[in-house]
Amino acid sequence: MKKTIFKITDYIERDLKWEEEECKKLGIDFYYHQLRDASASELIKTFKDADILLTNMATLNAEVLDGLENVKVLLRHGIGYDKVDVEAATRNGIIFANEATASSDDVAEHTIMLILETFRKKKLQDKVLKRWIYTREWSSEDIYPMHRMKGKTLGIIGCGNIGSLVLEKMRGFAMKILVCDPYLSRERYEELGIKHTPFDDILRAADIVTVHVHVVTEETRGMFHLEKFRLMKKSAVIINTARGPVLNTDDLIIALKKGIINGAGIDVYETEPPAPDSELITMDNVILSPHIAWYSEEGGWDIRYMIMDDVKAFLEGKPPRFVVNPEVFDRPGLRFIMGNA
């Protein structure tokens, strides 16, 4: 019987020794590469014989997926899948899955860190501290005005795994919390103890807006643009730990420079990495982090365990846990036969 082939396009772990041992126990062939920026032809050549393919940041567009003639299951390391053409995967009969709950707590915690640092003007606090140290003069003038979060309004845009964790964790701050997520069921809203608030209404009401849209689509790309920023309070701040292209960067810079909004906390960028001359880097009212909200040792291992669970499911003739394109199961060209890997 032909051995199952499991390949990785690119990875961020320090090493994959644990995966090697696990695959050895399972009796499957395991190969890994660092081809994040490889051409379509190189990706096709390297991975066309794989049964299971795991990707992190490689671009798997229609050309690549059309050429991966043997791949039955495609896995994404993490949640987002902006670099995978889901329609092409479906057309080719490939089951595509992500690890939808991986690092959710980590991203929620990082979001709260950015909320606190942005709303409490941490960058300006650092300047005040340095001046105090070197001149012995203390003044809060540069930070004025500072407000407490208690009693203010938090707006959550997108309330899936991460957004709902932010909701849960932020309840202890005694804020009014509004949620916009048109895709949540009525039962889920009731379970969370909240009601749906229209997008524009949240922008008008919120002192802090935090974005948790998990995928970039025609609907969500650039959904925060200048006219939307103009709806927000001048004292409001925006936090994005979701997807960079959801915020129009040029419009965000204009809004920050002109005082249309008061601040921003950003972990993800429209173009990654951000340009060295990006004005966001030098702005006193902007807190930046290096697309690291997902990271913790615990979260990193959660993802690794979840991926290997999906590999084991494949060997048992079962689909992955979090299938992104369930419509593939209705296609006659589905490559993966249930119950018979």
Looking at the fold, whether 173 and 68 belong to one and the same domain comes out as no
Start-end of H helices in 17-149:
17-26, 40-47, 62-67, 86-91, 104-119, 122-135
Q: Is there a single domain that holds both residue 232 and residue 121?
A: yes
With residue 264 as reference, give the H or E element that holds it: strand 263-266
Q: What are phi and psi of 56, to 5 degrees?
A: -110, -75
Task: Give the per-residue pLDDT at 168.
Answer: 98
| Whole-angstrom distance, CA of residue 73 vs CA of residue 268 | 28
Could you give the residue ranges of the DSSP H alpha helices within 152-269? 161-170, 186-192, 199-205, 226-231, 249-257
Q: What is the pTM of this model?
A: 0.90
Q: List the catalytic residues.
A: 243, 272, 291
Q: What is the pLDDT of residue 340?
A: 55
Domain carrying residue 238 = 104-288
Q: What is the CATH number of the domain that holds 66?
A: 3.40.50.720
pLDDT, tens digit, 9 for 90 and up, residues 172-188: 999 999 999 999 999 99
Q: Check if the beta carbon of residue 264 is closer than 8 Å to that of residue 118.
A: yes
Q: Cis peptide leading into 273, omega within 30 of 0?
A: yes
H-helix or E-strand spanning residue 156: strand 153-157
Can you list the residues of the chain whose pLDDT is less than 50? 341
Asked if residue 45 lies in contact with residue 67, where contact means CB atoms within 8 angstroms, the answer is no
Count of domains for the chain: 2
Distances (CA, A) of 148 to 153, 168, 173, 193: 11, 19, 10, 24
For residue 278, which phi and psi values (nearest 5 degrees)?
-60, 130
Does residue 298 contact residue 102 with C-beta atoms inside 8 Å?
Answer: no
Question: Do 78 and 172 lie in a common domain?
Answer: no
Q: What is the pLDDT of residue 338?
A: 82
| 30 and 141 assigned to the same domain | no
Q: Does residue 251 sit in the same domain as residue 214?
A: yes
pLDDT at position 215 is: 85
Please tell me whether residues 175 and 306 are part of one structural domain: no
Task: Tell me which residue of 221, 230, 282, 218 sits closest to 249, measured CA to CA.
Answer: 221
